[in-house]
Amino acid sequence: MISVLIVNWNTRDFLRSCLESIHKFPPSQNYEVIVVDNASSDGSAAMVQSQFPDVKLIAHTANSGYAKGNNLAFEAASGDWLLTLNPDTEFVDDSLQKAVDILAAHPKIGCLGAKLTYPDGRTQSSVRGWPTASGIFGDASGLGSRFPASSLGSYRLPGFDYTKEQLAPQPMGTFLLFRRAALESIGDAKKPFDEDFPIFFNEVDLLYRLHKAGWDCLYSPQVRVVHHGGESTKQVRKSMIWESHRSLVRFLKKHYRTPLNTPGLALFAGLIYVAAFVRARGYDAGFSA
């Protein structure tokens, strides 16, 4: 069984196209589609109810974030293969079944990422490395692009070959196919996301925990998905800039903090918040449920 899990917030028309593409290119094995609607005001939930009666709809009463929404979907899912899929995506071929076949053929791989393309066919840069001080500095300064093979390029991975199937630290959460057994090995497969990362870095945190437990992620260009890109978060851009920077700091503190590096990490966190202030052109409280 394949469980396709979609968290939606105010992207009704994109969600409709996404669900239509799943129906147009369904997998050959049994599957279910679960949509968690985070209290959209654009009629998304009503659209799903009326036009896609076979979809399991969880109409949440509040926008509690992406991590919580996904956990609600995982709790309702029964598949051995669990796909987190953004609503602003579309299938254009049999990539859903192909993804399951590829992951099934690699029993030691815990997760599969897809090749994401823009609607005009251009490839999106969708794979990053683990966030480190040198990689983040290289990204912010532009030096990572000039020295892609160095530690300065280790976060944005400007030299990543999107034509080659290979291990990938953290593909974007736009399309991530998980093996249930891998999730069960690190905790509760019905609640795999850390809700302290409500919008950003929740999939990075999950992939990092899988990686530390010996479950790596595979990127395959054979699996292709059209991604329109950030259709929910761009509606509240200033808040999301601050939320992304705060979540980066949370990730660094959760996974890298030691008694010896705490002062340096605090200084680095301060620089990240300064960057958020500059990018957002002011302060914002970020996401609140």
Task: Give the span between the Cα atoms of 242 and 34, in whole angstroms.
Answer: 29
CB 151, CB 139: distance < 8 Å: no
Q: Domain boundaries in the chain?
A: 2-126+162-230, 133-159, 234-280
**What is the DSSP code string of the chain?**
-EEEEEEESS-HHHHHHHHHHHHHS--SS-EEEEEEEES-SSSHHHHHHHH-TTSEEEEESS---HHHHHHHHHHH---SEEEEE-TTEEE-SSHHHHHHHHHHT-TTEEEEEEEEE-TTSPBP--EE----HHHHHHHHHSHHHHSTTSGGGTTT-TT--TTS-EE-SEE-TTEEEEEHHHHHHTS-TTS-S-TTSSSSSHHHHHHHHHHHTT-EEEEEEEEEEEE---TTGGGGHHHHHHHHHHHHHHHHHHHH--TTTHHHHHHHHHHHHHHHHHHHTS-------
CB 9, CB 63: distance < 8 Å: yes
Token pair belonging to 50: 């009326």
Angle at 195 (CA atoms; ends 194, 198), nearest 5 degrees = 120
The CATH topology of domain 2-126+162-230 is Spore Coat Polysaccharide Biosynthesis Protein SpsA; Chain A (3.90.550)
Q: Taking the CA atoms of the chain, what radius of gyration do you get in angstroms?
A: 19
pLDDT given for residue 288 in this prediction: 64
Task: Give the span between the Cα atoms of 276 and 251, in whole angstroms.
Answer: 16
Q: Print pLDDT tens along the chain (289 aa).
A: 999 999 999 999 999 999 999 999 999 999 999 999 999 999 999 999 999 999 999 998 889 899 999 999 999 999 999 999 999 999 999 999 999 999 999 999 999 999 999 999 999 999 999 999 899 989 888 999 999 999 999 999 999 999 999 999 999 999 999 999 999 999 999 999 999 999 999 999 999 999 999 999 999 999 999 999 755 545 567 888 988 899 999 999 999 988 878 888 888 888 888 887 788 888 776 666 5
Residue 121 burial class via C-beta count within 10 angstroms: exposed 0-12, middle 13-18, buried 19 and up: exposed
CB 82, CB 178: distance < 8 Å: yes
Strands 89-91 and 216-227: antiparallel
